[in-house]
Structure 1
């Protein structure tokens, strides 16, 4: 295979360096700014608060990263987290924590299987499939819960999620960090990871190279769905109930985190380690705006601007003949 032109290599190198430096600079600037406005922002208590607030978001963003790496997108992640959380709340008293986890992860994997199958076998764009699935899952959630929070008696799940085993750090934070480490290893040290990047880099080229494209595209959606299912269980344990609006903000924030971290929506660039940085940016930005009492409407505007800027800086324009 011919080498890339020197100009293309330089462009990709500049893009890679930019997507590493920008989130780090953003983190430093945001911390400095919010600390100047409110010195209480820079405290260990608030750092743990940021960690607790962003742990589930990190899980969802990791799920989104898996799908975005292959050049697709999953708009149903927030709705899936909500449904998995409701089902976990309904099953934990009868089947215990293991049953709740299996239910959440199983439902998530099933939804991912459906999404991936529709995308690959019917050749329907992932945007449209998962947009429809978002509506379906929201409807199912409201049918099951009747729009009400689902309470449960089991105290073990909240204890596991909110308790602390190591260094006084809530377990929910450790779960999210472990998931990040595992997915990073998968991305860079396994065949699955290599194939995900290959699909995002060029599906036709990957197919000619012998990659089972359909299987691995479906597997990406299944893996993403399973992670969202686990995130839903974690969120239910964190809140102490299954709530039908729990995942409302997760879709926008997770996409913002993924692209802010440097994973290109065009696929093939980035990874879980980048998403971790992106989540830090979004979490610090959100917490800082809360601490400085910025109203929720303004926060939505700021996050929208962040998404547009991040996409404009990370998209690989060489993959598109036309921008539509």
Structure 2
């Protein structure tokens, strides 16, 4: 009589136990929120959550490019405000298509300017993007006279802000497409490989013959374009171009990227990790809104999450 052969379970070699930490945390967070407020698991709330995190997902995509390259971008929300105001201001002269193009171009040019100063004048990303934040915010306030511009056409709000594509909200489609394009650029193009190389070791990348300054400039231009995309989504969703749109979005994007596991020192990270971070922050905000927690406490929670994310990043690097 032969004994049956029993195969022992083998953990996939490519899958690390740490990779499951955030998905498990997301499930636990959802179960906790659902236990406190059963409406959390309603389809309408899932749709609302997806709409809420769309601007953050777009901003975090651009932020991820900057951080993986070894820098960061503090101007994302301000450039988003400027792009929205510039696009709606130009709308009567260029139409809806031209308005969208102006938003993307404004964001891209602002990012290009920051990238040029950082790369070719060898300055610190923190200071340069902080300066660009002030410049973009000031120009947005000047162009709008400090008040929101409400003459957003119904065609834009109905199509982008509250429209659907195959039953999926248009804002969700745009944010998902932005992250997918970000993933493709990082993982499937030479540009993406250079971003990781620059973040890992700038000097070694320069010695290998890669034009580090040029690709660093492109990184911030790409981040600026995502601000333009975010401006389109925010303007269409709110129905106005706001000179101070989502002032906490930049900090939230930093928190989402680092919380997801992208190293603050650069050179590592993925768009899936960014999505995890975005989803966690979105779920926290959504759950607190449903429970009725004040915005003041939500701001406090975001600050705590940012500090925890930095600590987790430090712990991860010490154990690598």
Q: Distance in 1 between matches of 2:213 and 2:132?
A: 20
What does the per-residue CA deviation read over 1:166-209, in whole Å, with 9 as the maximum and x for residues that have no partner?
1x221110111111112111111110010000011111111112
Report the secondary structure of 1:72's partner residue.
coil
Change (3 A) 1:290 1:267: same
Report the secondary structure of 1:241's partner residue.
coil
Which residue is equivalent to 1:259?
A: 258
Which residue is equivalent to 1:63?
A: 62
Change (3 A) 1:171 1:153: closer
Report the secondary structure of 1:24's partner residue.
helix
Q: Distance in 1 between matches of 2:95 and 2:56?
A: 25
Counterpart check, 1:104 vs 2:99: no
Report the secondary structure of 2:165's partner residue.
strand
Q: Distance in 2 between matches of 1:274 and 1:266?
A: 16
Preserved CA contact (<8 Å) 1:24 1:277: yes
Moved more, 95-104 or 59-68: 95-104
What does the per-residue CA deviation read over 1:70-115, in whole Å, with 9 as the maximum and x for residues that have no partner?
0101000010111111112222333222111110111111111110
Q: Distance in 1 between matches of 2:146 and 2:108?
A: 24
Counterpart check, 1:211 vs 2:219: no
What does the per-residue CA deviation read over 1:22-69, in whole Å, with 9 as the maximum and x for residues that have no partner?
321221122111111110011110000011111111100101011111
Q: Distance in 2 between matches of 1:123 and 1:17?
A: 39
1:317 deviates by 4.4
Equivalent positions of 1:1-324 (< 5 A) are: 18=18, 20-152=19-151, 154-161=153-160, 162-166=162-166, 168-315=167-314, 317=317
1:211 deviates by 1.6
Q: Distance in 2 between matches of 1:158 and 1:310?
A: 35
Change (3 A) 1:81 1:186: same
Q: Distance in 1 between matches of 2:94 and 2:130?
A: 32
Normalising by the residue count of structure 2, what TM-score does the alignment of the two structures yield? 0.91
Change (3 A) 1:17 1:308: farther
Q: Distance in 2 between matches of 1:26 and 1:294?
A: 21
Q: Distance in 2 between matches of 1:49 and 1:153?
A: 22
Preserved CA contact (<8 Å) 1:23 1:260: no
Q: Distance in 2 between matches of 1:133 and 1:142?
A: 14
Which runs of 5 or more structure 1 residues have no equivalent in the other structure? 1-12, 319-324
Which residue is equivalent to 2:9?
A: none
What does the per-residue CA deviation read over 1:195-248, in whole Å, with 9 as the maximum and x for residues that have no partner?
000011111111112221001000000111011112112210111111122221
Report the secondary structure of 2:243's partner residue.
coil
Preserved CA contact (<8 Å) 1:72 1:267: yes
Preserved CA contact (<8 Å) 1:260 1:310: yes
Normalising by the residue count of structure 1, what TM-score does the alignment of the two structures yield? 0.89
Q: Distance in 2 between matches of 1:317 and 1:28?
A: 25
Q: Distance in 2 between matches of 1:135 and 1:165?
A: 37
Supply the RMSD in Å over aligned alpha carbons: 1.8
Which runs of 5 or more structure 2 residues have no equivalent in the other structure? 1-12
Change (3 A) 1:224 1:17: farther
Q: Distance in 2 between matches of 1:288 and 1:22?
A: 20
The structure number with the bigger radius of gyration is 2
Moved more, 241-250 or 32-41: 241-250
